Structure 1
Amino acid sequence: MPKEIIQSAEAPAPIGPYSQAVKSNGLLFVSGQIALDAETGELLNENITEETHAVMRNLEAILRAAGSSFDRVVKCSIFVKNMDDFATINEAYGQYFKSSPPARETVEVSRLPKNVQVEISCIAEV
């Protein structure tokens, strides 16, 4: 079965040569999302909580466009600029995974696109 490119107008358009997500063999690979508003292109990053929720809303829009949901996410990768924000990010992130949370890693990095504080990608079943 050939791969299928997934695109949602409710999530920001890619800012480089990549797809928002790719569906292949029953899995959905969602590219890292940052806190860009899909309509305005503005960053929603007044604080780390707002930024994390914006990232999660972008992930949710892409999951929905592919016929999936947070309940079907099996793996997330979180990239943070400052590990001191871990607890705050974790609190916001956890609101989207009430039960049976996915596997995950959280990694501190020196820099992220558009100098955001957090980027999250995921893999889900479709």
Structure 2
Amino acid sequence: MTISYEWRGRFDNTAVNALHAEGFGHAPLEDDWWAQVNRHSLGWVCAREGGELVGFVNVAWDGAGHAFILDTLVAGGHRRHGIGTELVAAAARQARAARCEWLHVDFDDDLRDFYFAACGFRPTRAGLIAL
């Protein structure tokens, strides 16, 4: 399996919508990811095998020192091969290069080992309001 990674790579909305639907267990939507990430994100990382989008992560930011990992997605048949870990590592390198001081992530409990053990995040105290 040869995977290539590209910061701010071009992608098709249909492909990201399909990855998101698979990753979060819902029917494919018709979200305009391209417009969204170009309007609100520091960047994103695309993972491809033979031209096919097999992974994606969005890096939102506050325009200054804080970046946020959102929507880490890897196609089902490509999971557990280090693709998600490399997506997050590439996102961290690019956030650091943009002079961000912090990279934040929130996640469900089943992803705790992935983000803490595989990706190097550390637990912090944080708050959340469900809207």
> Please, what TM-score do these two structures have when normalized by structure 1?
0.40
Between the two structures, name the one with larger relative contact order (CA 8 Å, sep ≥ 6). 1
Decide which structure has the larger Cα Rg and report it. 2
> Please, what TM-score do these two structures have when normalized by structure 2?
0.39
